[in-house]
Structure 1
Amino acid sequence: MSDSAHSHGDQQDPPFEVQFAQRVYRLPPYMFGRINALLYEKRVAGNDVIDMGMGNPSDPPADYVMEKMCEAVKDVRNHGYSKSNGIRNLRREVAAKYLKKYGVRLDPESEVMVCLGSKEGFSHMCLAMMGPGDTAIVPAPYFPVHTYAVALASGNVISLDVANSEKFLSNIAYTCEHLYPKPKLLIICYPHNPSTVTVEPEFFVDVVKIAKKYGLMVISDFAYADVAFDGYKPPSFLSAPGASDVGVEFTTMSKGYNMAGWRVGFCAGNKEMIRGLGTIKGYYDYGMFQAIQIASIIALREGDAAVEAQSLIYQSRRDALVDGLVRLGWDVTPPRAGMFVWAKIPEEWQKRMSTMDFAMMLLEKGDVAVSPGSGFGPSGEGYLRLSLVENENRLRQAVRQIKGCLKEAEAESITA
């Protein structure tokens, strides 16, 4: 061994440092980490936690969809690489659904693309459209991926309050008038997650006008298209005249069809934006397992009754949860669509603690997991998002446990 090697023998090498890309450091902290960690601990300890945290469907897909999947898996031709934009028959089925349900004509070749869930498609679309210095307008409170995907694409985010739809539109116009360089992208999400705000078709007519006036591209996240109550029919952004000139819409089979783990989403609308998404996807993936696509065709073709039945199940759960919370004296507006209830925390508790601490208390003392509104940005502070994935009996039990937990906390604060 050389002398120089010996001379370094006693010195400690500096610890090897892994340096992430700057885009990773730009991501906000994951707000649900604390809750998920405690939920996991409780589950391991054998506690029966009623979980209303995530919108993860607990009901299975229709039998005929699963049967088709099994049949397609056994066909050896379905196991090779698949086209990254999706097989033609699935794209045609998506176009057929848009025509039947919304009166929208789409070219399945150039105006429809299959994604590995709408979240993947949305994120890759942001990568195709955004870059350093570009700005996107997102609704506030925001579904996390609406801001994270923009941040990962090195873009900037301006979030505007979504509660009042007319004010939201005028704030978009004001931002476009006064920001230089102008925002490049508008992200909309109706029925809105987390706040459950809904709109009528005229709203999208105004969105198209604003987009054309200011040169804004639009991405509509239409994840809750298939889950609606009391006769309300969520409108599609693409049904507004000229919508395909300015934007695209993402839909999914996760919610109404109970196929969340299958990861089947679609992008439809503007040809150029879809071409951009296709370019990015072509470098990242080889498309979805073909057996899943074949089963999805059957789900779309034959699933209308199953989707409607699923909405009625969610409606009954909504009623059970809202009635229970209202009886506790909470201020809750029953949602017209989606899988969530957006509930205001009672005033006396808001004065005492943050929304995150309130949610942690419900989990610690009441064995009820919920999402704190602050996890969806500052404008969610003071609210909880409760998902409707548990059955009615479990939801009624959750209300009883919330009541007991708050009573116990009240008693403790009096004796403290």
Structure 2
Amino acid sequence: MEFSNRLKSLPTQFFATLVEKVNKAEAEGRDVIKLGQGNPDQPTPDHIVKALQQSAADPQTHKYSPFRGTAELKQAAADFYKREYNVDIDPETEVAILFGTKIGLVELPLALMNEGELMLLPDPGYPDYLSGVGLADVRFDVMPLVRENGFLPDYDKLSPEQLEEAKLLYLNYPNNPTGATASKEFFEETVKLGKEHGIGIVHDFAYGAIGFDGKKPVSFLEADGAKDTGIELYTLSKTYNMAGWRIGFAVGNAEMIEAINLLQDHLFVSMFPAIQHAAAVALTEDQTCVDELVQLYEGRRNALIAECKRIGWDVEAPQGSFFAWLPVPKGFTSEEFADFLLEKADVAVAAGKGFGSFGEGYVRIGLLVDEERLKEAVQRIEKLNIFIKDENYQKYS
């Protein structure tokens, strides 16, 4: 049978192409250092796994879950936001449970937009934002994220027509792929924009726990009036190494939350209650594992940046997330450089162009292997003699 026009309109899966190249290299027996994807390499903390095991053994969890998630998990999400960000959340009307936040990000245009309406997306940005565009058959314009503006969108550059027509605006800080963070003042400016122009704000807070140099990332909902105009999506994938568990939630504006819940009433019957219980334990019990994880990523970041500077690669340290956004040397496009590193150094990175046209000129590296493996990757690149080694470099600390 022929695919529907909606399926035909979906973008090519960027990461699938990257994986195919890496698999081909490994099939040839090559030792590839894989820095291209964003799959956490640490296990889920033991106390969360044990909570799942115990709950899964309870026959009560073998029944259908409430359509909109368990009261325990919704309350845990509200308690988490009060503890971490001093934000009050109504667990009944301001929480939507998600099968991972990718689901919510793709669902929102279907739930809140009509065909042909306009949404504003960051460029570079998470490629799967475009999946929602294709499935909902809506239009999108990009907001360039450039180094000169701290990889934040410049709202002054949006045209009157864009501001008049836009229905949704997506943001993501700490940012994938750039590693940039946003301030409360920036989010307050965003809230003002949303209220003045009737634009719903969607903040993808996937890396909300991962901030460096003692600076905790800011929640969009900490801005005054944020719940009047937008929502925030939080995943447990990164904070608690639960990527394969597929669980997250959205919080904030009650009307936007109701739209997600109503759509999901027709798509799902919620998720395995034992997973929801384990997620509630993750959100509400001892957070030492989170602090340790952030320290681990910060150590990896420091090791990577120090090695890059040592070989003469002019890079900036990310402020958050578990990615580094590194400039491509002259003479290469981002895809050419990524292919060159894979072919000549057996180092896999993600080409910046895969995150949007304004990602050209960069590659993304994941801090998802240990420090020694990161150092080895840079040492392999050093042997290609692309960069001028700085014998007087200052070690990053």
Do the structures match in fold with TM over 0.5?
Answer: yes
2:365 is aligned, of 369, 386, 395, to 386
Q: Deviation of residue 81 (structure 1)?
A: 1.6
In the alignment, the residues of structure 2 paired with residue 154 and residue 317 of structure 1 have an alpha-carbon distance, to the nearest angstrom, of 41
Q: Partner residue of 1:265?
A: 248
Output one character per residue of 1:32-63: Cα deviation in whole Å (capped at 9) or x when no partner.
44432121122334332111111100101111
Partner letter of residue 129 of structure 1?
Answer: L
The alignment's TM-score, normalised by the length of structure 1, stands at 0.89
Partner letter of residue 19 of structure 1?
Answer: E
Partner letter of residue 105 of structure 1?
Answer: D
- Alignment RMSD: 1.8
1:14-25 → structure 2 map (5 Å cutoff) = 18-25=1-8
1:35 aligns with 2:18: yes
In the alignment, the residues of structure 2 paired with residue 59 and residue 141 of structure 1 have an alpha-carbon distance, to the nearest angstrom, of 27
Q: Partner residue of 1:354?
A: 333
In the alignment, the residues of structure 1 paired with residue 214 and residue 320 of structure 2 have an alpha-carbon distance, to the nearest angstrom, of 10
Q: Partner residue of 2:347?
A: 368
Q: Which 4+ residue blocks in structure 1 deviate beyond 6 angstroms?
A: none
In the alignment, the residues of structure 2 paired with residue 47 and residue 70 of structure 1 have an alpha-carbon distance, to the nearest angstrom, of 38
Q: Partner residue of 2:314?
A: 331
Partner letter of residue 203 of structure 1?
Answer: F
- The answer to whether the 8 Å contact 2:33/2:373 transfers is yes
Listed as ranges, the gaps of 5+ residues in structure 1 are 1-17, 409-416
Q: Deviation of residue 208 (structure 1)?
A: 0.7
1:151 aligns with 2:130: no
Deviates more, 1:131-140 or 1:157-166: 157-166
2:270 is aligned, of 287, 304, 311, to 287
SS across alignment from 2:69: coil
SS across alignment from 1:225: coil
- The answer to whether the 8 Å contact 1:187/1:220 transfers is yes
Q: Partner residue of 1:5?
A: none
In the alignment, the residues of structure 1 paired with residue 336 and residue 105 of structure 2 have an alpha-carbon distance, to the nearest angstrom, of 31
1:377 is aligned, of 343, 349, 356, to 356
Listed as ranges, the gaps of 5+ residues in structure 2 are 388-397
In the alignment, the residues of structure 1 paired with residue 302 and residue 289 of structure 2 have an alpha-carbon distance, to the nearest angstrom, of 20
Output one character per residue of 1:7-30: Cα deviation in whole Å (capped at 9) or x when no partner.
xxxxxxxxxxx4322223333333
2:298 is aligned, of 300, 303, 315, to 315
1:168 is aligned, of 143, 153, 157, to 153
1:92 aligns with 2:71: no
In the alignment, the residues of structure 2 paired with residue 211 and residue 107 of structure 1 have an alpha-carbon distance, to the nearest angstrom, of 22
2:189 is aligned, of 203, 206, 219, to 206
Q: Deviation of residue 231 (structure 1)?
A: 0.9
In the alignment, the residues of structure 2 paired with residue 240 and residue 167 of structure 1 have an alpha-carbon distance, to the nearest angstrom, of 16
- The answer to whether the 8 Å contact 1:331/1:346 transfers is no
- Larger Rg, first or second structure (1 or 2): 1
- The answer to whether the 8 Å contact 1:196/1:340 transfers is yes
Deviates more, 1:247-256 or 1:119-128: 119-128
1:50 is aligned, of 15, 33, 44, to 33
The alignment's TM-score, normalised by the length of structure 2, stands at 0.93
Percent identity of the aligned residues? Answer: 37
1:400 aligns with 2:385: no
Output one character per residue of 1:160-217: Cα deviation in whole Å (capped at 9) or x when no partner.
1123269724346x33x13486111111111111111211111111111111110101
Output one character per residue of 1:340-362: Cα deviation in whole Å (capped at 9) or x when no partner.
00000122xxx2x3211211121
In the alignment, the residues of structure 2 paired with residue 27 and residue 400 of structure 1 have an alpha-carbon distance, to the nearest angstrom, of 38
In the alignment, the residues of structure 2 paired with residue 92 and residue 123 of structure 1 have an alpha-carbon distance, to the nearest angstrom, of 24
Q: Partner residue of 1:297?
A: 280
